[in-house]
Copies of this chain bind each other. A is one copy, B any other.
Amino acid sequence: MDTEKVFSYKEPEENSGYLLWQVTMQWQLNMNRALGKMGLTLTQFSLMAGLYWLSQKQQTVTQQQLADYANTDKMMTSKVLITLEKKQFLERVKDPDDSRAKQLKITKKGTQTLKEAYQIVKQVDDVFFKNVFKDKTVFDDLLTRLIK
């Protein structure tokens, strides 16, 4: 049988990448289930949070700027932002200085939803990371070293 040929092969659980993947999928699932109760996905929340942050740093925020900040591609970002506009969580206004660009403005409803969603996210994170809490700095350092 083909499968009896032996070639060096780690069991999935022995592989850092696979572990990372599994853990993140679980975290994401928890987040999406919790956020789903208020009609948000994790990606939607994350873009709204990013917009909130960027809005505090600069007067105007374009879709491209938000995409850069959130490390999402502009095509996907565009679609999610259209969805968020339909839900009236933000507005996409034509930029007067650059007629290609859209300025993003979070609405009152959006801010309120974000505020509530953030409580949920914080709660889910606390539960999820409680097993690692003492080593949180170590954990975050290791992750940070893996970025880029």
User: A residues within 8 Å of B by Cβ?
Assistant: 1-5, 7, 9, 11-12, 15-28, 31, 42, 46, 49-50, 52-53, 55-56, 70-71, 106-108, 110-111, 115, 118, 121, 124-125, 128-129, 131-132, 135-136, 138-140, 142-148
Contact = CB atoms under 8 A, between A and B. Distances in A.
A57 to B, nearest CB: 10
Copies in the complex: 2
A69 to B, nearest CB: 8
B125 A17 contact: yes
Which 3 interchain pairs have the tightest Cβ spacing? A24-B24, A3-B55, A19-B143
Nearest to A121: B17
Given A3-B52, A22-B71, 5 more contacts: A16-B125, A18-B46, A128-B146, A131-B146, A139-B142
Nearest to A69: B12
A128 B20 CA distance: 12
Given A3-B52, A22-B71, A24-B21, A16 B129 contact: yes
Contact of A140 (B16, B25, B143, B144): B16
B108 A2 contact: yes
B131 A145 contact: yes
